[in-house]
Amino acid sequence: MIIAKTAEEIELMRESALIVSKTLGMLASEVKPGITTLKLDALAETFIRDHGAVPGFLGLYDFPNSLCMSPNAQVVHGIPNDTPLIEGDIISIDCGALKNGFYGDHAYTFAIGQVTAEIQKLLEVTKESLYVGIRQFKAGNRTGDVGYAIQKFTEDHGYGVVRELVGHGLGRKMHEDPEMPNYGKRGRGKKFIEGMVVAIEPMTNMGTRRIKQLKDGWTILTADGKPSAHFEHNVALVNGKPELLSTFKYVYDALGIESDEEAEFRSAD
Ligand code: MG
Ligand code: MG
């Protein structure tokens, strides 16, 4: 069952989402060659607690850390470790925070130093597919409309859309109804309702959409060993339109990137 949130609850969810946004922004300055994902995880946990929240992933389904850190061919759910990142890597950092009883959950894939043009393109297309999907999160539409839009855009670029892992409703639980697949058919799936909040999160493989799982029981990686990217926003349905609760602004501030990509998803007031 989809749980609609009140305006007050949506403001609390914005607060949780923004703690994650700021955590990603803090990490953006630290994600460099030589740093380990365990070190980044420790920085994030301290930062989240300093902002009066609790890491949303730590202990969730027994996950051992605060961040899911998925480099290169890892898709999602990678576990932080003591291997230093190196120039040319990419890393998906997925972060959750719990405050006032509500979760924030969003993700960004960072380039470590200079990456190849091919990988840069994967990052750009995956992030753009996120906004292509968010545009379809509106009154009258269904989960299949979002999934269709992301799948079409992604496959038109020749990339693989991961099927086994999906976006989700978000609220007092990290994973609520509905599931938000990154593939689908127009007009199919659950109908959107005013006040609902979702995490939309395309996971895009440069090659095959097929995946496998490591023996650690968590890490998902591409079956062909090619890179995979992942971007995630938290979005509320307000006045029939998608409104972003999370933002990449802090990441862009840290990286010196100018962008107005989120402007169309802000409320007018
Ligand atoms: Mg996430
Ligand atoms: Mg999520």
CATH code of the domain in which 197 resides:
3.90.230.10
> Which ligand minimizes its atom distance to the CA of 95?
1
Number of domains in the chain: 1
* Residue ranges near ligand 1 (ion) with Cβ within 5 Å: 94, 105, 107, 232
> Which ligand minimizes its atom distance to the CA of 197?
2
Ligand 1 centroid distance, CA of 232 (Å): 6
Residue 15 lies in a domain: yes
Ligand 1 centroid distance, CA of 106 (Å): 5
Ligand 1 centroid distance, CA of 259 (Å): 22
Residue 2 lies in a domain: no
Residue 267 lies in a domain: no
Q: What's the longest Cα–Cα distance across the chain? A: 49
Strand order in the sheet with 203-205: 160-161, 203-205, 228-230
Q: Which domain holds residue 246?
A: 7-261
Binning the chain into helix, strand and coil, the percentages to the nearest 5 are 30, 25, 45
Tens of pLDDT, residues 49-94: 999 999 999 999 999 999 999 999 999 999 999 999 999 999 999 9
> Which ligand minimizes its atom distance to the CA of 96?
1
Rounded to the nearest 5°, which phi and psi values hold at 135?
-60, -25
pLDDT of residue 268: 61
> Which ligand minimizes its atom distance to the CA of 198?
2
pLDDT of residue 269: 56
Q: Is the torsion defined by CA of 209, 215, 217, 219 positive or negative?
A: negative
- The residues of the chain scoring below 50 in pLDDT are none
Residue 115: closest CA among 133, 134, 89:
89
* Residues in CB range of 109: below 8 A, 6 or more apart: 90, 91, 92, 93, 123, 126, 127, 229, 230, 231
Q: Which amino acid belongs to residue 156?
A: D
**What pTM value is reported for the model?**
0.97
The whole-chain average pLDDT of the chain stands at 97
* Residue ranges near ligand 2 (ion) with Cβ within 5 Å: 105, 199
